[in-house]
Amino acid sequence: MKIFSGSSNPDLSRKIAKQLGCQLGEIELSQFSNGERRVWIKEKVLNSKAIIVQSLSYPPDSHLMELCLIADALKRQGVKKITAVIPWLGYCIQDKVFRPGEPLSSKVIAMILQTAKLERIITLDSHNQVIEGFFDIHFTELFATDTLIDYFKTQKLNIDTIISPDVGALKKANRFSETFDLPFIVINKKRDRKTGKVSIASVSDKVAGKKVLIVDDFISTGGTLIQTAKFLKEKGVKKIYACLTHHFYIPGVQEKIEKSQLDCLYVTDTVQTLEKKYQKLKVISIAKLISDTIRKYEKI
Ligand code: R5P
């Protein structure tokens, strides 16, 4: 078994390799002078199984192309089977044609990945589970909820209410609520499709004096979390924490979180974390969840 890291998330790739007790495969990743991605596998892989770890994080198109090139290079060197670990499956947010004239991006990404001769894809919290149906190859979707729940079991935050910032996060919020035997409350969030601006209309219950944990799948512009935290603070909430799977680290967003009413944001490492340390950002690794899954499928 050989594990190759694309350039999107080397820290997570190293952690997965460590969990599996193997070294990362030798690979040279660079760019041609015209910006095209260049890949060179520098070790023997004939008849072996390979894992490629690559998030389709920023810049997503380039990371997608690099993943396809790594897969092609490996196949040409005689690899028997490739599993792609794609912790953040880019383009999965557009899982519907919201307005006539828009593409079904998650179907397009599935078609592209299928041309890359991958045998299996392992991904996490893909925004909408329906997208599994767009793939004709083995597709395993993992959920970071258990990893996050295990983490919160070790913390003494005295949270007394779970918050779902919209109906999309209900299932996750419900898991937290059941595990910790806490009530959960839903926020009525609205997003303007043209501007992307988020506004909070109402909350389904009384929240004054509470210590709450907001549960969601990702943070992009930060609008949802920042507006929810502002709204909750105005309603008298004492402490506001949030936990979610993916942080895209769009420039300036974590800085806005630092200045927001949020006390702490807990995210996983599906996307390469920033070098700079932030007071309100805590990263929890999902390397074990991924490596346990690889072990299960590869019987190692
Ligand atoms: C919505 O469906 C998602 O689960 C997130 O709540 C949201 O889209 C996060 O995006 P942003 O940070 O831009 O508000």
121-168 per-position pLDDT tens digit: 999 999 888 899 999 999 999 999 999 999 999 998 899 999 998 888
pLDDT tens digits, residue range 254-268? 999 999 999 999 999
Instruction: Give the bridge partners for 40, in sequence order.
Output: 28
Tokens (6 digits) for 297: 């499928």
d(CA 206, CA 214): 15
Ligand 1: distance of its center to the CA of 286 in Å?
21
* % of the chain surpassing 90 pLDDT: 83
Ligand 1: distance of its center to the CA of 220 in Å?
6
* Residue 294, pLDDT score: 96
**Residues in CB range of 124: below 8 A, 6 or more apart:** 87, 88, 141, 142, 143, 144, 245, 246, 268, 270, 286, 289, 290
Ligand 1: distance of its center to the CA of 88 in Å?
14
Confidence label for 228 from pLDDT (cuts 50, 70 and 90): very high
With beta carbons less than 8 A apart as the criterion, state whether 235 and 259 touch: no
* % of the chain surpassing 70 pLDDT: 99
**Half-sphere exposure of residue 88: CA atoms within 13 angstroms, side-chain side:** 31
Top mutation candidate among 106, 125, 187, 217 for ligand 1, by most atoms within 8 Å of CB: 217
Q: Which atom of ligand 1 is nearest to the CA of 217?
A: 4
Stated pTM of the model: 0.94
Q: Which atom of ligand 1 is nearest to the CA of 196?
A: 13
Q: What is the mean pLDDT of residues 224-229?
A: 94
Confidence label for 13 from pLDDT (cuts 50, 70 and 90): very high
* Residue 189, pLDDT score: 79
Which residues contact ligand 1 via a Cβ below 6 A? 165-166, 168-169, 198, 216-224
Q: Whose CA is closest to 272, among 13, 9, 4, 3?
A: 9
9 versus 117: the higher-pLDDT residue is: 9
Mean pLDDT of the residues in the chain: 94
With beta carbons less than 8 A apart as the criterion, state whether 281 and 222 touch: no
**Residues in CB range of 286: below 8 A, 6 or more apart:** 12, 87, 124, 142, 144, 147, 245, 268, 269, 270
Task: Tell me whether residue 189 is one of the annotated catalytic residues.
Answer: yes
Residue from 15, 172, 189, 210 carrying the catalytic annotation: 189
With beta carbons less than 8 A apart as the criterion, state whether 108 and 91 touch: yes
Give CA 274 to chain center in angstroms.
15
Confidence label for 27 from pLDDT (cuts 50, 70 and 90): very high
Tokens (6 digits) for 168: 């999309």
Top mutation candidate among 171, 172, 216, 271 for ligand 1, by most atoms within 8 Å of CB: 216
pLDDT tens digits, residue range 195-206? 878 887 777 678
* Residue 119, pLDDT score: 96
Tokens (6 digits) for 196: 């992307």
* Residue 197, pLDDT score: 83
Tokens (6 digits) for 265: 């944001």
Ligand 1: distance of its center to the CA of 51 in Å?
30
Ligand 1: distance of its center to the CA of 35 in Å?
31
Confidence label for 187 from pLDDT (cuts 50, 70 and 90): confident
* Residue 186, pLDDT score: 87
Give CA 118 to chain center in angstroms.
20
Instruction: Give the bridge partners for 89, in sequence order.
Output: none
Q: Which atom of ligand 1 is nearest to the CA of 222?
A: 12
Q: Which atom of ligand 1 is nearest to the CA of 253?
A: 12
Q: What is the mean pLDDT of residues 55-59?
A: 97
Q: Whose CA is closest to 215, among 175, 156, 256, 248?
A: 175
Closest residue to atom 1 of ligand 1, CA basis: 168
Closest residue to atom 9 of ligand 1, CA basis: 219
